[in-house]
Structures are given as structure tokens and as C-alpha cells.
Amino acid sequence: MKIAVLSGKGGTGKTTFSSSFAFVTKSLLIDTDIEEPNSHIFLKGKTSQEVSIFNHFPKVDMEKCTLCGKCGDFCRFNAIIPAKNRVVIFGESCHDCGGCQLVCPTNAISWEKREIGKIFVEKSYFNSDLLYGKLNIGEMSGVKIIKGLHGMAKGEDIIIDCPPGTSCNTVNALEGSDFAILVTEPSPFGLSDMKLVVQLLQDMEIPFGIVINKADDENSEILDFCDKNSIEILGELPFSREIAKSYSEGKIIADALPDSQEIFKNILKKVKEYGN
């Protein structure tokens, strides 16, 4: 079963949750938050393999180019712009779709490649598998890294730590998920960002439930929203000084605070009921 863990924004406890979930289930964790991966900090693994991921971007042979402009008209990322005397390429903006080559009437376009990031393969300190991707600084699109992570992920249960929000990366990270766990926190921003992700999951027709992190007496707005929209609350992680301390020390909550394991086990049980 592929279980995605996501949140409306960064800092809501998505990685706190997914790292503990991986610890309790001993499942493969893939960290697709390629712009800011941090699962490896908690899983403290040793890297056994690094895989470079390349993007292709166009190169124009000006001997053949007639400056007709068709490639620029086609590219919606403004990565190829025919100018007065030459065609200007912005390789970092290119999404490697190949469209400009298809529309070029003179076969003036060929390809060059550039490393956009890496995938790291690790074994965690508790002997489970971890895959995470890292986008190189300055690169605009890491979708290929996320697709690469999915391609390399093998296992009965796979936990996907998704990028926060509803970006293109999040949509690609969610591809093929059987269930999603949306981690939120009881704050006005937490609720409004959560609603956007709820909409995304409904559009993608992925079943999901909510986990409230830092749960306290201010949960009522989230509870009301979930009640009105028939969304299941899978569990709550309490607001606690011990949890905050463990997190700041780079520890997995379920390991540092064994009493909390019951919370994750109960959530897993509810998630598995969706898979049956």
C-alpha cells in the first residue's frame, strides 16, 4: 500500500509524523520533498548509493534555424526564446518535454543534458530503507527526481513524505498513492492551507484522513470542518514539550517517546482498513 503523508505548508509536523510512521511500520520511506529533504536527518542512515538525475534541454543549430519562432510559441515555460539573431535557451526553466523539437520545421534542435539533482539510497539506523531526492540549487523543476524516486521504490508498504502545499511536485509525489494522511495543526493558517490540500486530494480521488499535530484546546475549527465535510480524523499528536524537544534534537518521536507508538499504530490500523 502506498501511503502519502502531506501537509498544507511546511513546519506542520509532516516529517515528524512520517519518520515515526516509518519507525513503527519499518516500511520504506521515500522523501519526495526534494527542495528541502530532511527525513534522512531523523533516520540517520548510511548512503549506499547516489544516482544522478539529468534533464535534457535544447541546443539549436543556427545553420539550420530560420528563426521562425515556432519553438518559442510552443514553450509555455519561456525556456526557449527566438530573438533577432539567435535562439536563447534558459536550460534551468526547461521541463524536458521535447515539444520544441517536435514543432521545429528545420530539425535545428538537438539535446544537451545537465544534472538537476540526485537520489540517495540509505538504510536507516533501525534497518529500514530510505530513498530521498535532492534538487540542485537553481533548478526550477525536480519532477524527474520525484518520478525517479517512485520508479526505484519497491516494497509492500511505501510511505511517501510529500512536498508541502499543492505544487506540481506535490501532485507528482501523490501519483499512485492508495491513501493520504494530511497532517495539520490547529492554527488559522493551518486550516486554510489544509483546505487547499483537501481540494487537491478530492480532485485526484485519493482517499485520505487527517492527523492533527500539536493538538490542544484550539482544534475546534478543524474538527468542525472535518465533521461538515465527512473527513475522518485518524489521530492526534498532542502539543507537548517532550515532542518538541525530541524533534529539535533530531530524534524520531516514536523511538524517543515509546508511549507515543500507540498513536501511530492506531492510525496505521485505520489506514489499512481503507486498503482492504
The residues binding ligand SF4 (CB under 6 A) are 57-58, 60, 65-71, 74-75, 77, 79-80, 82, 87, 94-100, 103-104, 106, 108-109
CA distances from 253 to 22, 83, 91, 239, 250 (A): 11, 56, 42, 13, 9
Assigned C-alpha cell, 187: 492554527
CA-wise closest residue to 11 among 180, 139, 193: 193
CA-wise closest residue to 186 among 126, 140, 226, 139: 226
Min dist. Cβ of residue 118 to ligand SF4 (A):
21
Q: Which is nearer to ligand SF4, 13 or 117 (CB)?
A: 117
Cα–Cα distance, 80 to 76 (Å, whole number): 9
Question: At 244, which helix (H) or strand (E)?
Answer: helix 241-248
| SS3 category, 7 | strand
Min dist. Cβ of residue 142 to ligand SF4 (A):
14
Cα–Cα distance, 102 to 275 (Å, whole number): 42
Q: Which is nearer to ligand SF4, 104 or 183 (CB)?
A: 104
Min dist. Cβ of residue 37 to ligand SF4 (A):
25
Amino acid symbol at 180: A
Q: What is the 3-state secondary structure (H, E, C) of 90-123?
A: CHHHCCCCCHHHHHCCCCCEEEEEEEEEEEEEEE
User: Which residues, at least 6 apart from 59, have a Cβ–Cβ distance to it below 8 Å?
Assistant: 89, 109, 110, 111, 112
Min dist. Cβ of residue 67 to ligand SF4 (A):
5
Min dist. Cβ of residue 248 to ligand SF4 (A):
41
Q: Which is nearer to ligand SF4, 94 or 135 (CB)?
A: 94
Min dist. Cβ of residue 174 to ligand SF4 (A):
22
Q: Which is nearer to ligand SF4, 48 or 78 (CB)?
A: 78
Q: Which is nearer to ligand SF4, 8 or 91 (CB)?
A: 91
Q: Which is nearer to ligand SF4, 31 or 96 (CB)?
A: 96
Min dist. Cβ of residue 171 to ligand SF4 (A):
17
24 CB neighbour count, 10 Å cutoff: 21
Q: Which is nearer to ligand SF4, 103 or 233 (CB)?
A: 103
Assigned C-alpha cell, 107: 530539425
Min dist. Cβ of residue 117 to ligand SF4 (A):
17
Q: Which is nearer to ligand SF4, 72 or 148 (CB)?
A: 72
